[in-house]
Structure formats: C-alpha cells, structure tokens
Structure 1
C-alpha cells in the first residue's frame, strides 16, 4: 500500500509539473501574439468605428447641402426674387416685398445665418442682416466668392466670415455660403445662402470629441475649414501637416494609416466627399490605443493564472477519485487474485463499475454540451458577419462554414428579420420563457416550409424577434410566404411580421441585407395591414425625388388663420396623399417640420399645452415623433385642426372696439418706426394677422397702411410749417427711410412736393 501511495504521489507531481509548464508556455505565447497583433486589431476596430461616424456625418452634411440647394432652387424660381435681383432700381414697395420673401427663408430654416441678393451691375445688396449694415464692409470676401463659384464645376460650400458692430456689440460669424448664379447673368448677379458654421460643428459634437481624438474638415487643396478641437480657427492657409498631404494625395476615398504628428503617433481615419470635394478626418492618439492593448494583456495573464490554479485543483481531485481505484484493480490483476476471494476486492470492483458508469454519463453530457457550444459558436460567427465585425476574406469564411457545419452557401444570401406580435402589438417581456419555445417552434416550421428553397440558419436578436439567413429564394412565390405566415398564426396564436432584405452576392454584403431588412420593417409605420415587407418592392414603389410640400403647408397655415376648418381638413388629406409614396425618413421629417411650424406660428396665440400634457411631451414635433403608425398621425392632425380653430375663435370673443382701441394706441406709439407693420401689431395684440386686417378695415373704414401713412403725413405737415428740418430729415423722423418714397407719397396726397407745400403755406 505504501508503494502504491508513493507511486501515486510521483504520478501526481509529474502531472502538476506538466500542467504548470504548459500554462506558463501558453501565457508567454499568448503575450507575444497579443503584443504583435492586438494593437493592429485595435487600429482596425477603432478605424472602422470612426469611419462609420465620419460616413454618417458626411451623409448628414450632404443632406444639409441638398436642403440648402433646394432652397436656392426655390429662390431662383421665385419671380419676385429674380425681379429684385435684376432690377437696377426698385421702388420701396417692391423692395419691401423682396426683403420679406428673403426673410421668410431665414425664419423657416434656423440653420441659415442670412441671405444676400447681389446685383452685379449696380453693386447693390438686398439682404437679411440689419439694414444699416453694409454687406461689403462686414463681408469683404462676398463679391470675390462669386468669381470663385464661376470657376468651379460643382456647387460647393464656400467658407468665409462676417464681422461687424451693431448697437455697440461686436458680431463675428463664421459662415458657409452656397452661391447661386443665374444662367443668364454675365455681370455677377448672385444669390448667397449663408449657413452658420455652428451647424457643422454640432455634427462633430454629436460624434463625441474627446481629449484623445480630433475631427477635421479640409478641402482638396488642404485648406482647413473646421477643427473640432479649435473651433475658433477658420479658413487657415494651406496646412503644413504631412498627414493631411498624405490624405489628399491618396487614391482611396476612405482609409486609415499611422502617422507621427508633433513627435507623437496618431491613427488617421478619413472619408472623402466627392460632391462637396472635401475630406472628413479623425486623428486618434496612439497612446490611447496602446493603453487598451496593455490592459488586455494584463487581463489575459490574470485569467490564465486563475485557470492554472483551477487546473491543479482539478488534477489533484481526479487523481484521488480515479487513479487510486484503478491502482487497486491493477494490483489485483497483477497478483492474480480471484474476484470473489476477498470482500475488499469485491468492494473495489463495485466501485470501479460505478466509476465507469459515471464516466459514460459524463461523456454523453460532454457530447450534448459540445453540440450546444458548436451552435453558440455558429450563431456568434454568423452574428459577426451580420454586423460586419472582423475582416475575414471569402476563403476564411468558407473554412469557418465547414468547421462549424453551417449548411448555407457563401453566395446568393438573403436576410429575414422576424418580429412576433400578440393581438395588440409586441408581446410582453414577461413571457420570455414561453417566447424562447415559440421561436424554436417558428424556426422548426420555417425549416419545413421555407428550407425547401435553400438552407436556413437562425440568429437570436431579442426576446420577440430573430433573424433567419437563407440562400436564393427564386423558387419561392408570394403564396408560399403567406402560407408560412398563416401557419404560424394558426399554430402559435401570434402575428408574425417579416422584413426581407435585398440579396447579398457574398458574405461581405450580408450586413447590407440585414440593414435593408430592418428598414423594410419600418414600413409597418406606413402599412400596418401587411405581414411581409420586401425591401426590393418597397424601393420600387418609393418616389425617388422628394419635394417638401411648401404649398400645402402654406395653404394649411392660411386656412387655419382664416378659421376655414373644411379647407384645412382637405389640406390634411392632400398632404398625406402627397407623402404616402415617399421614404419613411422623408415622411417623418416632413410631418415633424410641419408640427414645428404650427408650433411656431400658433404657440403665442393658441394655448397648445393641453395637447402637450395629454401626450406627456413638450412640443408638437415631439408628439408627432411618438406615433407609431401613419393613420394615427393623420387622425391626430384632423383633431388638431378643429382644436386650433376653436382656440382662435375663443381669443376673438373680446370686444372689437377694445381691440381697435388697443391697436390705435399701439400704432400711435410706434408709427414713427420704419418696421411698423400689420404683422407686428397683430402679434402684439395676440391675434392672427388676417383677422386683424379684416377687423381694422371694417371698423376704421380704411386700410392699415393708409391709416399709418395719414398719421405720418399729418406730422410731416406740422414739421414742415414749424421747423427748419430738411425734407430727408423729416421723412426719416416719421418713418420714411427712403426720401424719394416720402416725396412721392406726400405729393400724391397734396398735389405738391414737401418744399412747395412749405413755401406756399408760409407765403399765405
């Protein structure tokens, strides 16, 4: 027995020494591999992350560009604007009309800083900045940018700066201008639409600038347009950094590389915008990436040591439970003792039998566990392909398919996103256990009904949803799809909605099929009665070129102001018919913009708080965002119209004479100011402009403009007779900034010019 124990101890020692040696060797090997490759992996992962951010920001900037371009086209097609642009001399009324049209553009678009109309023959600007500011003085680059625009083959944002002092306050605005030159112009006629540089800076802030990273925009000549770490810097000379030169001269439209800047290593990631002809660049400190690598190495070493300790403990336990009984069996066989000659040996045999039974049970358990582990590995690998994680080529993917026993081919793939719903929407998360069984049953049913047309694989994506990957579906008809859905309804008692993405020729294109499948499901918002949403069919039905419904929006606002409920409701029907064949993104944006405009126009004269409270929101745009179906939104708008009209009528129950008295008092106090208008009076009285104009005409028997003109001319007569002020000074004092217009109006009433009137009265 002593010899056996010594033998056991020697065997155990050898096992422990071998285990320690293997683990130490593994730690060293893993450390070397990590040191060599983990930083490269971090580089790729970080670069992919920033490329996605840059591409999204690039898309947002391009969307902003398209929006401004549409506004420019709208202005070029506006007859009032073109008449104002090309007229060498405008009368005051026409000039006011043009200025109002330009002001409307700036008011409707908060990201627009200002608009200039420039007449190249006269050098005249019509603009939205304060009228006593001279554009050439505050924006010295404006005229020169017209020649820059003419030399370009593409319409681009041109950065420059406004700098001026108004009311003793300095104003400096960094702006991006989109300049439109009329096709028939040869003398520099142009329309400037100027954006706040802040609108681009905000996009950078959303990407999450940190102390370790910086976002830059440079044009293709290397001029630094915007720098997220130094937003005050604007329009540098050509940058001298080598990494920007390397970006500009690269052939790839998007890439990443390592560069040394100011004696520090940085990861440079960039994306090129062909339309705007500029680069979006991110620089990330290499020290920041290396820190993650060392943290990962430390964690590997700690985990390896813990595994080593567990392995040693497991080895000791196995030796005690298995080696000793087998040693007894070996001893019995060696000395040829009969099994039944001793009770001790009989007990040993029974114990060994129990050991073998336990081993068989463990082997079977390990086999089941291996199947589950392989399924988890298979699903994890497919999920990585779905989310474009990793950078494996086609051969590597095919090898993994064979290793993990994936039945799919690596070509002609398609993604299906399945969402399971109850009678009244998405199933509650309280039924997670039941849902897992339901999903397994749905998958099994899919294998029997869909898999005839190709192999099928499942990926879990949530408690009430999953993704199916399958090969070519050419042989599958719409009836087969509907048959599968109805089988699920009948057998499972749930409603199934399926988004079918566009085809993926290779595994690398699988992520795009997944995105399009999810995008197809977004059309539940528009068509809730469907069960299967094919991305290809949806895209074929979408109107490719979207136009914002300005006319319908203006018509709706006017009918609301005039209390015409029937016409306003007809506008709502026309609006939803107009946008029903647009993309979901455009429909959402359009309805939110209309809600914001309604909020802006009626918030001061209508109490909209009951609507906000009912939906627990703070604005109409937020309320609109909370609806999940377009029919619910349409019903909301149809309820909003009578609410606003009823509120407007309620505001008008005040005594008409009291309103007119307040209006006359306000006019008496402000008629000497040149900015007095019916709009400003109606706003001050908290009533709508059309109602104020109608009420004023009916009670005063004269129009608002005539009434104000008579007040000004009465004071002008008094000033002509009792002061020595010049005609221009009198006109400015009573609200006529244009002396020519003042003389014209005065002569129309009296038949004499102001000077003739003064001379005649003094002579009499």
Structure 2
C-alpha cells in the first residue's frame, strides 16, 4: 500500500556527498583490524594457557602415578611387617629366653628376605638375650647393627606408620665405605622409653634404590620427578646419591611447603633456568611429590603459534580490505536507491534544506516524515496482528522496548493486550519432562495444540480473579497478571492457590506435569522485565524441588546457604570408595555430596556439579593409567547439556552410572587377566605334575611373581588352593594309571610326583576310602 503518490514533476537533486560510503569502508577496515588483533592476542594467550594447563595435567598424572606406586609399595611393606609378627618362627626369635641355635628359624628370615628384591634386610630384636637377629646373617656389619639399635631407641611408637628413611655408611669387606639407602618400618610390643630398647621388635628395611629405579624410568624429556619430606629432604628421586639431601633452602621448596593447597603449580627459576613446577602432597606419609618441566620446553610451542598467527593476520587483513570494499558497495547501493525513491515520492517542501547534507541525514529526515504519518492496525491480517502483539509483549518482558511509558496505553489498547500499567507480576508455567512428552507427540502441530490447550486452561482459571495475558515461549507459558492493588501476604497465598489448582487440573486431565515460578510484584509496566527475569531464575530450582513445584522468592531463599564452599572432604571420601570399588559406599557418599550442594543457589549447584564431574574424570582416567588400561572417559557432552537436566536425581544417577561403569570395566579386565594367569598355572601343573619338587614357589618363580599373590589370584578365580589343585590332578592321573595300566603302585606313585609311596598310599586311602590296590580291583571288575 502506497502512502505517498508519485510526484512526476518534482525531481530534487540527490545528495552527491558520498561520505557514507567512505565511512562504511573505514569502519569495516577498523573493525576487521581490531577483531584480527584481539583474536590473535586472545588466541595466543589462550593457547599459552592451554599449553600450561596441558603441562599441569601431564605432570599431575605423573605425580598421581608416583603417589600410587609409593602407596602400593609402602602398604605392601606394612602388611609384610604384620605378617612377620604373626609368624611363629619370627615370634620365637623375638621372645626366646635363650639364644636361638635352630638354623631353620634363622633361615626363615633369609627366605622371606629373598622373596622380594624390594627388601634390603629384616631384623628381629630380642631383649631377653639382647641379640639383634638379621636376615643378613650372624655377625653382620657393626655399623648396620648400631644404626638398627639407635633406630629402636629413637622410635617412640609401637608401630612406625610412616617409613623412616635412613642412610647408613658401612665398611665393606674390601675396606671401602659404602652408603645404603633404606626405609625402615618398626613394629614392637612396647614403645622404647628413654635410651632403653623395647622387649621385642621387628624392623623391615626396604631398599630405597628400588624407588630410585622407578623415578629414573619416569623422568623423560628433561622432566625431573622426585619427592621430599616435610622438612625439605629428598626422599625419592632418580639419583640415589641425593637420598636425604636437604634442599629446604630452595625458594620453590619453601613455596611448596608453605602452601595450604594439596596440589598446584607455578613457575620458578632454579639454577638460572625457568621451570614449570607441579606438586602434590601425600599427607598420609608426610611426603610431597614434585615434577619439574623446563618452561622453555612448554612455551616453545606457543612461540611457534604466535609467529604463525602474525602471518595469518596479515593475510586475513589483506583479504579483509577486499571484502570491506565489496561489502561497503553492497550496503551503499540500497541507500542510494532509497534516496532516489524518496525523492520521487515525498513533496519537495518536506525535504527543503536536506538535499545538500550527507546521505544518512537526508534519509533520516525523509523516514521521519514517513513514520510520523498515522498508521492503523485494524486493517492488518489477524496473523500479523498476533505477531506484533506477541512481539510487543516479549519486548516488554525482556526490556527490549524503548517506548515512552505514556504511549503504552495506546499500544496496549490497539493490540488488545489485557494488561494494566501498574501492580503487575509474571508467573511462568514450564512443562516438565518435555522430551518424554514430545516422544509421544512427534508431530509439530500436535505439540502446538498441547501448549495452546495448557495456555487456555491457565487463562480460564487466572482470569476469574485477575486481568491476564499470556505468551508461549519454547516449552513455557508466561502469564502477566494485573493484580489491581499492592500485593500482601493474603494476596500472594491466594495467587499460589490458583497456581497449584492449575497444576493439579492439567495433571488430572492430561497427565502433564507443570512446574511454576512466581516473579516479584512490580509497580510499573516498564519494570516488568525484573519480575520476568526473577521468575526465570526461580523456575530453575525445579532441579532441587522436583516436578510440579511451585517456586517463589521466600521459599527459595530460606533454604539457600549464603556462603558457597566446595566440600573436598566429602569428595575425598567418595573417591576413596571408588578406588576400593565399594558401590554401597559410593552411593552413600554421593547422597551426602548432593545433600550438601543442594543447599546453595542454582548457579553454585551447577558449579559444584561441574567441579565434581571434572575431578571424577581426572581420577578415573588416572586410575585407568595406573592399572595400564587404555581407557578414557569424557565429560564434555555432560557439561554442555548439564542445564538440560531437570532434576538433581537425574544428575546423581549419571554420576552413579559413571562410577559403577568404571568399577565394572576394571573388574572385568582384572578378571580376564586373572583367568589367563590361572590357565598358565594349570598348564604348568599339567607339564610338571610328575616333578617331586613341584610347589607354589616353583610355579610363581616361573611366572615371575610373588607366591602369596599367585595363591590369592588362583583361590579367587577357582575357589580352591593351588596345592589342592596339584594333589587332585595327581590323584586323577593315578586313578587313570591304576585302571588303564598294569604298572606297579610304587611306580605309579613316582609317575604322578610322589617320591614316598607310603605317603601316596595313605593319602589315596584318605581321599577315596580305599587303598590304590582295592581301587584298581574294584574298577577293573566293573
């Protein structure tokens, strides 16, 4: 529809000043230049941070693996000390009232010492005889013995929970001074008092050089991994010569020891070289693990990226100049055409004095003339009227409306919006479990009808008491209510009852659950966006209160703890349960964590869950690495869609599935490895059952592992001991030979691995209730 008729005889001069085109071109060039510069700086800065973060993650994995390796070996040593204390022969050494002459008892110490390369020596002290027995033999080095006696005097606890590092200088048989690095664990019946020794004690000395070998293998690409105690002495490192060296005066060591954090990283200069320092403490053993990476090694990658980005920026800038020129022309052409069109349609007196200005001033005055003409909405089609109506209401809700408040009554009346200018608020109704609902109604029109039906029920109920207008936004129905007076407690309760009635009606009629939130009361329509914003915030608390919740300010605030603090103690308890594979404890700890975080605001709840997810990913991936499993978990997709989870229970279930999946995966892989190991044991028995010396120790030596560990695995998988399996296999072979051959029984005894035929005869009778001869006779008769 034309507003102005063409004036064929009026042809005013079009502005010839093309300053707009120049400004457009200059603006694009400036914008492109600024964007490219900022993008490059941001990219380089973020890339540098990414490199450092990756360096910290790599260092953290090394530190966690070193902590795990240390903890595993020290726990093994403690367990061994307890098992020594329970050994009858060791007990005899500790408390015999006379010197031990039985070589088998002394040999027991040497046997245990030889069972593991980690053991340097085992000492047993007997106060009654004042003898210190050692697995090194009688008359062992005097300096060594003196160190052990001093250790007993200085150990004031019955059990030294933390291994005691010692460096002992002894004189070898050749007369040379040799240093031995050891960790000692002491177990005694009574603590030493003064300079008196305990009644009896066991000292397990672990070879510290074994740990040095591990740290030597771990140090790669100029990385330096080591550990210090709380006084700054080196305990574990790749160089055994640095054992117990005091480096507490180094500034970076002081920073680590003084830090209240359990782990962290920073950059420090050490011996004129910059290093990236990552650390993690092991409070149970008073140890601090440290990893040093040359800073230049990390940052070298980012320097290459910076040089590359400069070249790319220059290239993009050149391309940007060309594109800016083309785009400026494209934008300017419509302006030029519009000026020509306005010149043809507006009366000349309306634009007098504007034709010599720049294009935009000229165009602005012309458009003002057009827009100042009265318009009529009545002639618009219904579809366009609804669109404009909804657009205006949405702009008011999000404060995207710059209209003078005095013009609101006219616009509201023209668009038939049922809203007052004063005493109003917003209520949001959101469909719960909308994805489940939409699966039942995949057709778009059906979904629209459902939302429209809900909207009509809301309007029918609320309009009984209030003026109301509504707007459908995504899966929510936004109701703007005109209360007509200032809201008090009675009015609020009355409105809440209306809201709950609507929720119940819709659920009873269509089995559709709605959650609702009520924004605060505002006195003017231009403040309505405040009520809408708050209502949007409150609806998120469905996550805490569940579906069909009715949410408002006082209800939410009274249950929020003001001070946010992430509970690392609860997290550590959860992670300990994960390491142990204790699913029941995991559920308990997870319930406690969610019970704690649901006391915070919604944003802090999301922050806590994000922190837990990232820390869980790091833990599980570290545990996979420690167990040499090529598995990884990722939480990126979960975090990206975290706000799509409607209920805290759904998020808790996600975490529970994550933890249980990890435990099941690890158990399946361990079981598979254990089954392979058991099959190897069985194959060895099949090939060697006739060997008189066949034993668990012989089998474990062939498989290069500890006998006790092999016994445990075999028993867990098969339900019986290796010794029983060997005996059963030998007797089954004997039965076959008795029934299928004429070999003498004494020969059969030898053939199946029994050197003593009398023992074979007795054992066979005990197992089967008959003698070998009677078994042969009975089975051949059949």
Instruction: Tell me which interval the TM-score lies in, with the shorter structure as reference length.
Output: 0.3 to 0.5
Q: Structure 1-normalised TM-score?
A: 0.45
Which gives a bigger RCO, structure 1 or 2 (Cα 8 Å, sep 6+)?
A: 2
Give the alignment's TM-score, normalised by structure 2: 0.44
